[in-house]
Amino acid sequence: MILKMSKVQIVGPRRYFYDTLSVLHNEGVLHIEDVSKKIAPGETLLRKMKVDDERLEREQLLDKLKQKVDAILRILEPSEISPQESEKYYQAYMGMSCEQIHEEVEKMLTEVEEQTKELAAKKTALETEYATYSRYEGILKKIGPLARNLIALEGYTTVALLVDRKYKKVLDIIREEVGKITKNQYELVSTDVDENTTAALLVFNKIFDEQVNAFLYAEKVNQIRLPEELADKPFNEAYSYMKERIEVLPQEIGKVREELREVSKGWYAKLKTIRDVLEDRCEELRVASFAGETDYTFVIEGWVPSKYLHKLQKELARKIGEKVVLTEVPVSHEELEGAPVVMENPRWAKPFEEIVNMFGTPRYGTIDPTAMLALFYPLFFGFIIGDIGYGLMLLLICYLMRRKWGKIYFVRVATSMLSLAGIMAVFFGFLFGEFFGSLPEWYHWVREVEIFGIHLPFYRIREHNILTYAGIALALGVAHLTLGFVLGVVNAYREKAKGHLLEKVGFLLLILSLFFILGETLKLIPGGGMIFLLLLLGGIALIAAGGGVEGVFHIPTLMSNIFSYIRLMALGVAGVILADVANQLATSFGSIWTGITIAIFLHLINIVFHTFSSTIHSLRLNVLEFFNKFYEPGGRVYKPFKRVGR
Amino acid sequence: MDIGMWKAISAALAVGLAGIGTAIAQARIGSAGAGAIAEKPEVAGQIIVLEALPELIVILGFAVSALIIFTLK
């Protein structure tokens, strides 16, 4: 649901401006508009709020401090902060003047730096060392076997070379030329290290360093240079040293990080809170320029969800007094269309807002499709998977992921969506009598019952049921699309878009006409053919009147949209068949344990692929077929002026 | 050839040819989509849905082949 918004104007004496801003910041519900954009050229009474130089300087100072705190926070190891502790520090720092904060932060930073400087430098040095040696690891592995064949000689230089195997003959040229330079005082060994590369080690007397290097450079031979600190060591020694260090460095880094975490404990919460305070104070000063002013008053404009309007008015009156007035401003239809959008949905539907937002925020005044997506995605998913075993496995996977990575937002959203889908898969599993495929049917685990003339379980891949299953899928599609068109009619009515309204009603008549032609064909509605014709012509006329030629061209897409829902049946059948193939393969092995292992492996693969494809296709039916009938993206995102620290 | 063989061949053709059509379409969308995501990672969601668009062809092919196998007498 999209919340109703009210446009508000806050006017008061200029001396109360920053106090008012602070109250608004604290309440965190007002989406502030830039008043200066509304000031007409030549307007003399109202002008853009001028932030005085002293405040600007203060903002710059706070911003600098924020950057310093950020830099220190990056060095420290994050530690848990209790909300009570954070609130205590926040209130304390928020009450301080700019100068006090400055003093406090500088003092704190000096102390933190003193305690962490050594450890932080050690950590950086170890991490750099690890990164450097890791870069050499791949190359060293290639060169290593060659290096072991060489004898370390005092006064000799070792150079490692990598040559493309296609140009291996270049090694002969190197031999010849280096021989000339060094008067044959050299050794070159080479080996093919993979299908593309040949590695070579060249050892020669140090006195020829300059000439040999100049030659290799001129010939553009790919030379491996060792890290500076190992440059003087023989290659095999350097190789062993680096290998050893790569193994020990992670533990050393871990140890330093642990020590740093211990030191950080006392500081992290304070610095993190101070960072939030600085951010909030900077934001207050930045937003000040969005306001307008006259000689004696200030003006702030913005949008607030109507349900918070009264509370905001009361808070302003309580904290500032009657001198600052908040009034709701009447708005035109066009202005209302530009209102920021706040989506408010029940907890179970909330994760689906992420999917909706991927396709753009819905426009203000139109319908928010989140709740419908939260209803139809699990429904379609369950209809496709329809297996108790698969549904339970999915719920188990969601539970485990939630336990392990529950703090990651993406995991929380994905598991919430998949849990609903899993529940529906279990529900449809009962209807279809499936548990890891058709096992219940094969082993007669369930007894068939008849409820209101319907035989349950409904074995969907039985010959006489498959057409019914396809029919149900198409019927679901027709119902889904009809709902889409009805919502489209509501949207068009709300937006006073007459053309759209006629077009959507026309499509609804076309869908209705399908019932009559079906009734006539099945001999259920005598004379249905005539009604079908009337509805069809009426529908086409309305579509042409509302959507013009383009609208008429869209008529065939209605049929393709309906047939698109047959994927629910196709994917469902494919899933059961694959599950049954897994069971059949498993039973064809002599050993029960081999069979069980094969079955688990194949079912796991089926669950992963089936879950992925069912999710994609269920979302696609919602996003493409359904949303296209009514969804109007392009809404403005609601960005309330609120404190980050709260 | 008996009717069972014809049913199998027809079903295989229905799903096989549709599969080839889908593969060609998905290959093109996939390569264009990968380029688009590299430039603008935020369009990944839309690209995944676009990638699924041509699957309708093979799904309809599969539905037809399932109907051939299960319902044709």
Q: Which residues does chain A have within 8 Å of residue B65's beta carbon, measured at their own beta carbons?
A: none
For residue A586, the model assigns a pLDDT of 84
The band of A100, judged by pLDDT with boundaries at 50, 70 and 90, is confident
**Across residues B34-58, what is the average pLDDT?**
85
**CB atoms B59 and A470 under 8 Å:** no
CB contact under 8 A, B49 and A566: no
Chain A residues in contact with B70 (beta carbon < 8 A): 461, 463, 466
DSSP per-residue letters across A393-428: HHHHHHHHHHHHHTTSHHHHHHHHHHHHHHHHHHHH
Cα dihedral: A490, A491, A492, A496 (round 10): 100
pLDDT digits (tens, 9 = 90+) for A51-62: 778 778 888 888
Q: Determine the average pLDDT of the residues in A586-595.
A: 82
Contacts of A116 (CB under 8 A, 6+ apart): A72, A75, A76, A260, A263, A264
- DSSP helix/strand/coil, A602: helix
pLDDT attached to residue A147 = 65
Contact: B52, A616; criterion CB under 8 Å: yes
> Which residues of chain B neighbour A470 with C-beta distances below 8 Å?
63, 67
A389 band by pLDDT with thresholds 50, 70 and 90: very high
Tell if the CB–CB gap between A466 and B55 is shorter than 8 Å: no
Q: What separation in angstroms does the CA of A182 have from each of A86, A338, A577?
A: 71, 80, 74
**Distance from the A587 Cα atom to the nearest Cα atom in chain B, whole angstroms:** 24
Task: Evaluate if residue A445 carries a pLDDT over 80.
Answer: yes
Q: In this model, does residue A641 exceed pLDDT 60?
A: yes
Of A470, A619, A620, the CB nearest to B63: A470
Q: Give percent of chain A with pLDDT exceeding 70.
A: 96
Whether residue B67 lies within 8 A of chain A, CB to CB, comes out as yes
Question: Cβ A564–B56 below 8 Å, yes or no?
Answer: yes
The separation between CA A614 and the C-alpha centre of its own chain, rounded to angstroms, equals 20
Q: Using the predicted structure, report yes or no on whether residue A151 has a pLDDT greater than 60.
A: no
Taking the C-alpha atoms of residue A356 and residue A626, their distance in angstroms, rounded to an integer, is 12
pLDDT of residue A8: 92
CB-CB: which of A466, A560, A620 is closest to B52?
A620
pLDDT band at A214 (very low <50, low <70, confident <90, very high): confident
How confident is the model at residue A68, as a pLDDT?
A: 83
Identify the pLDDT of residue B60: 85
Question: pLDDT for A305-326, tens place per residue?
Answer: 999 999 999 999 998 888 899 9
User: Cβ separation of A616 and B48 shorter than 8 Å?
Assistant: yes
Using CB atoms, pick whichever of A466, A563, A616 lies closest to residue B70. A466
pLDDT band at A618 (very low <50, low <70, confident <90, very high): very high
Count of positions (residues) in chain B: 73
Higher pLDDT, A42 or A3: A3
**Would you call B71 an interface residue with chain A, using a CB distance cutoff of 8 Å?**
yes
Q: Do B45 and A461 touch (CB under 8 A)?
A: no
Q: Measured between alpha carbons, how far apart are the two ends of chain B, in Å?
A: 15
Q: Which amino acid is at A278?
A: L
Bridge partners of residue A186, in order along the sequence: A204
Mean pLDDT, rounded, of chain A: 85
Residues of B in contact with A466 (CB under 8 A): 66-67, 70-71
Those of residues 2-41 in B touching chain A at CB distance below 8 A are none
pLDDT, tens digit (0-9, with 9 covering 90-100), for A539-566:
999 999 988 888 888 888 898 899 889 9
What is the arithmetic mean of pLDDT over A630-645? 86
Question: Which pTM was predicted?
Answer: 0.73
* Both structure tokens of A268: 């992290």
Determine the residue type at A621.
L
Interface check for B52 against chain A (CB to CB < 8 A): the answer is: yes
**CA atoms of A373 and A352, how far apart (whole Å):** 7
Residue A597: Cβ within 10 Å count: 13
Give how far the C-alpha of residue A384 lies from the chain's centroid of Cα atoms, to the nearest Å.
26
pLDDT digits (tens, 9 = 90+) for A239-297: 778 888 888 888 988 888 888 887 777 778 788 888 888 888 888 888 888 888 888 89
Q: Which range in A207-221, A329-343, A455-469 is most confidently predicted, on average pLDDT? A: A329-343
**pLDDT exceeds cutoff 90 at A69:** no
What's the average model confidence in pLDDT over A371-377? Answer: 95
B56 and chain A in contact, CB less than 8 A = yes
Distance between CA atoms of residues A132 and A140, nearest Å: 12
Decide if pLDDT at A381 tops 90.
yes
Nearest-Cα distance to chain B for A97, in Å, is 41
pLDDT given for residue A65 in this prediction: 85
- CB proximity B1 to A under 8 Å: no
Q: Which of the residues B7, B22, B46, B49 would you substitute to probe the A interface, choosing the one with the greatest number of A C-beta atoms within 10 Å?
A: B49
Closest residue of chain A to B53, computed from CA coordinates: A620
- Give the separation between CA A635 and CA A612, rounded to whole angstroms: 30
A398 band by pLDDT with thresholds 50, 70 and 90: very high
**Contact call for A623 and B49, based on CB within 8 A:** yes
- Given a cut of 90, is residue A424 above it in pLDDT? yes
Chain A hits for B19, CB-CB cut-off 8 Å, are none
Percent of chain A with pLDDT over 90: 29
pLDDT at A10: 92
Give the residue on A whose Cα is nearest the Cα of B50: A620
CB–CB of A620 and B60 under 8 A?
no
What CA–CA distance (Å, rounded) separates A299 from A598? Answer: 72
